[in-house]
Chains A and B, each alone.
Chain A
Amino acid sequence: MSLTSRDVTARYDELAELVVDVERRGPGDVALVAEAATLVAHEARLLDARRYDEWLAGWSDDAVLWVPMAPTHPAADQSLLLDDRRRLAERVRWRAEPSAWGQQPPSRTTRVVGSVEAWRSGDRVIVRSGLVLHEHRRARAQLLVGHQIHEFVDEASRCRTKILLLPQLSLGIRNPSFLL
């Protein structure tokens, strides 16, 4: 099924609404938290270990990873990135390229995920979690702190949406090519 430009703007609306909606929700579903925390921690571990092929396999076909500069609307302001599955695959490909000087040697990252809350929404699971992301590369380190929103779908709990909300982006960060 091919998309129309109306589908594109609808998907952008959905991303903007998800950010607002999650902040308005009451406490998460206790019965869901353990499973949700496991999914988010697993994703963090795959990224930290640079197991990108496995990480990529965990996304749905209509996946979006959004890292906004300001969490408003993907059509209203700049993002650091807004990827579909094709561009996620390009990022993985780029990192494997020996001439990707900005990631050679690759960043070492440590993600600490906490304050996990989860809600069931129809057949989807929405997860909000805090994120402490430490990166070091070529003898320099930086620390990013923020939170992330995941939307998991289907029996395999594949990720359909991930939004990384990192207020520090507006202060200026060094080489951002480690961010996923």
Chain B
Amino acid sequence: MTADHLTPEALHRLVEPHRVHRRIYTDPEIFELEQTRVFAASWSYVAHESEIPAPGDFTTTKVGGRPVVVTRDGDGAVHALLNRCSHRGALFTIESSGCAKRFTCPYHGWSFANDGRLVSLPFPQNHPVQDGDRSQFDLGRLAVAEYRGFVFATLHPDPEPLEEWLGPATEPFDHIVDRHPGGRLRVLPSPQQLEFDGNWKLAWDNAADGLHATFAHRSYNVLGSDADIDTVLARDPGRTPMVAKALGHGHMVVDQRPGIPDGPWSTMRAVPFREPLEEELVASGAGGDLDLATGSMVNLSLFPNLIFVGNQLLVVEPIAVDRTRLSAHLVLAPDAPAEIDLLRLRVDEDFISFGTPDDLDMFERVQQGLAIPEMEWIDVSRGLRDGPDVPAADGVVTGPITSEAPQRGYLARYRDLLTTEVITRVR
């Protein structure tokens, strides 16, 4: 029996086209439902191919709170396995990444191939599996699919094809990948890990919010003006030709390129050791590559857990209804001149130093404000004065960056997922 306040009808009422109820940010019971319906039952980003380049390589992550190991088997195929021994339930690995043909559970010695098959168990002679189907004790598998080297996984019983799920998001996705020479990306092993005391949707609300830059990131823009640099966030949001789009399926993009005619590099203050690296590139005739040192200026968010910002993959991991982890993985361009990656490493630290702290403070302020029960609703109506969000033929809603159309787009998808009862399934 579902409690009255958690029926699909009751949940549906929490997300209106122009406002959302505070409970989706504050209710632990809704948070529990989200872990299955929004995260486990959707495609989630779990790894990039460069993190598991060789047979046997593995890396770990979470999908809807479930510990997951992403492996590459001896034939090169990628698997997403639940990190749970099929015997008594122990995590069979506690490494964050590594290389292993087999995983042997340290508790009772059950051993699994890196494609999830049960290989052996000690003292098998008195275990009923000797007479039965061994595959019933394989590790739990998620469905996996890859796009341009990015691995996604889901526990949905009948997931839609990944490219359909991406839909119009493939265009900005391709742009982000293709700007790297040879289409090659390399994700570094140790992400910056930040946590805040707030709901995961606060990060999502922020990802395609073109207006907050003027206010929340004033300190970033002050550093820019001190250095005579017109930072990308300092543009007048009411006049800039930058656009914000709801791409369907909850995906969003802010395309800043129309607002920066001189290219991304022109918006960057000097990072440490910039000059020698920049001079070397210019002297070797590769000065045009400098735009590669900073982000694409196409901030793409793939609902529910992957945000491309700068040269980072920002992975959003809900920990509790009021606690979220952001893992910022820096992407390098291994086929670009070496100076590009040396610059990327320092550019990577710029916004996390002078921009992200201000965002984190806003997230926590909102969470604290939403604790007030008498004020129930959160406004997301900006842009609707110009008329309702009307998708173009490709399903995309485009607005100026002062429009909250992207947030409305992800919230509509969120409502669809939250109100759909789904039986998640391992393979």
- In the complex, the answer to whether A79 meets B345 with C-beta atoms within 8 Å is yes
Return the 8 tightest CB-CB contacts between A and B, nearest first: A102-B357, A177-B357, A172-B193, A99-B218, A69-B190, A100-B219, A84-B272, A3-B276
Kindly state the interface size class of chain B when it binds its partner.
35 or more
Can you sample 18 A-B contacts with CB below 8 Å? A4-B276, A8-B273, A8-B277, A68-B190, A75-B345, A77-B190, A78-B190, A78-B192, A80-B352, A81-B353, A93-B223, A94-B223, A97-B218, A101-B357, A102-B359, A169-B193, A174-B360, A175-B360
Q: Pick out which of these stretches binds chain A: B28-36, B101-109, B194-202, B231-239.
A: B194-202
**C-alpha spacing A101/B196, complex, angstroms:** 14
A-side contacts of B360, CB under 8 Å: 102, 174-175
Contacts of A99 in B (CB 8 A): 218-219, 222, 358
Q: What per-residue 1/0 map shows which CB atoms of B240-281 lie under 8 Å from chain A?
A: 000000000000000000000000000001111101110010
Within 8 Å CB of A175, what residues of B?
194, 196, 357, 360-361
Give A9's nearest chain B residue, CB to CB. B342
A118 to chain B, nearest CB (A): 27
Report how far A87 CA is from B190 CA in the complex, Å: 22
Residues of B within 8 A of A103 (CB): 357
The reply to whether the CB of B339 lies closer than 8 angstroms to some CB of chain A is: yes
Interface SS of A by simple majority: mixed
Whether the Cβ atoms of B190 and A82 lie closer than 8 Å is: no
Q: Which residue of B lies closest to A138 (CB)?
A: B364
B226 at the interface (CB under 8 A from A): yes
The reply to whether A94 and B354 form a contact with Cβ atoms under 8 Å apart is yes
Q: Given that A3-B276, A75-B345, A79-B345 are known contacts, is A174 also in contact with B271, CB under 8 Å in the complex?
A: no
**Nearest-Cβ distance from residue A106 to partner chain B, whole angstroms:** 11
User: Are the C-beta atoms of A173 and B277 separated by less than 8 Å?
Assistant: no
Residues of chain A lying within 8 A (CB to CB) of residue B188: 76-78
Size of interface on A: residues with Cβ below 8 Å to B: 46
Q: Chain B residues near A101: list those with CB within 8 A.
A: 216, 219, 357-358, 361-362
Question: Taking CB as reference atom, which chain B residue is nearest A142?
Answer: B195
Determine which of A74, A77, A174 lies in contact with B196 in the assembled complex, contact meaning CB atoms within 8 Å: A174
Q: Roughly how many angstroms separate A169 CA and B329 CA in the complex, as a whole number?
A: 14
Contact A82 B342 (CB under 8 A): no
Q: Are A97 and B273 in contact (CB under 8 A)?
A: no
Docked pose: A70 CA to B190 CA in angstroms: 7
Asked if B345 and A82 make an inter-chain contact with CB atoms under 8 angstroms apart, the answer reads yes
Bound state CA distance, A170 and B189, in angstroms?
Answer: 11
Residues of B within 8 A of A82 (CB): 272, 345-346, 349
Q: Which residue of B lies closest to A103 (CB)?
A: B357
Chain A residues proximal to chain B, CB less than 8 Å: 2-5, 7-9, 11, 64, 68-70, 74-84, 86-87, 90-91, 93-94, 97, 99-103, 138, 140, 169-177
Interchain CB contact under 8 A, B275 and A3: yes
Report chain A residues within 8 Å CB of B270. 86
Distance in angstroms from A20 CB to nearest chain B CB is: 17
Are A97 and B191 in contact, with the CB atoms below 8 A?
no
Select one of B194, B226, B354, B361 contacting A173, CB under 8 A. B194
In the assembled complex, B330 has its CB within 8 A of some CB on chain A: yes
Q: B209 interface residue, CB < 8 Å from A?
A: no
For residue B137, give the distance in angstroms from its CB to the closest CB of chain A: 33
Partner pick for A4 among B218, B269, B280, CB 8 A cutoff = B280
What is the CA–CA distance of A81 and B351 in the complex, to the nearest angstrom?
11
A114–B167 CA distance with the chains assembled, in angstroms: 57
**When the two chains form their complex, are residues A172 and B325 in contact, meaning their CB atoms are under 8 A apart?**
yes
Residues of B within 8 A of A5 (CB): 276-277, 280, 338-339, 342
Would you call B358 and A102 a contact (CB within 8 A)?
yes
Q: In the complex, which residues of chain A have a beta carbon less than 8 angstroms from the beta carbon of B222?
A: 97, 99
Q: How far is the CA of A91 from the CA of B349 in the complex (A)?
A: 12
CB neighbours of A90 from chain B (8 A): 223, 269, 354
Q: How far is the CB of A57 from chain B (nearest CB, A)?
A: 19
- Establish whether residues B342 and A8, one from each chain, have CB atoms under 8 Å apart when the complex forms: yes
**Cβ–Cβ < 8 Å partners of B197 in chain A:** 140, 174
Asked if residues A171 and B193 are in contact (CB atoms below 8 Å), the reply is yes
Residue among A5, A79, A84 with max Cβ neighbours from chain B (10 Å): A5
- Asked if B348 lies at the interface with its beta carbon under 8 angstroms from chain A, I say yes
- Point out the residues of chain B lying under 8 angstroms from A80, CB to CB: 192, 349, 352
Which residues of B have CB within 8 Å of A94? 219, 223, 353-354
Beta-carbon nearest neighbor of A80 in chain B: B192
CB contacts (< 8 Å) of B352 on chain A: these are 80, 176
- The distance in angstroms between the C-alpha atoms of A4 and B95, with both chains bound, is 39
Cα distance A75–B339 when bound, in Å?
Answer: 10
Q: Which residue of B lies closest to A79 (CB)?
A: B349
A171 partner residues in chain B, CB cutoff 8 A: 193
Interface centre among A77, A94, A102 (most CB of B within 10 A): A102
Chain B residues, CB < 8 A from A93:
223, 226
Alpha-carbon distance between A81 and B192 when the two chains are bound, in angstroms: 10
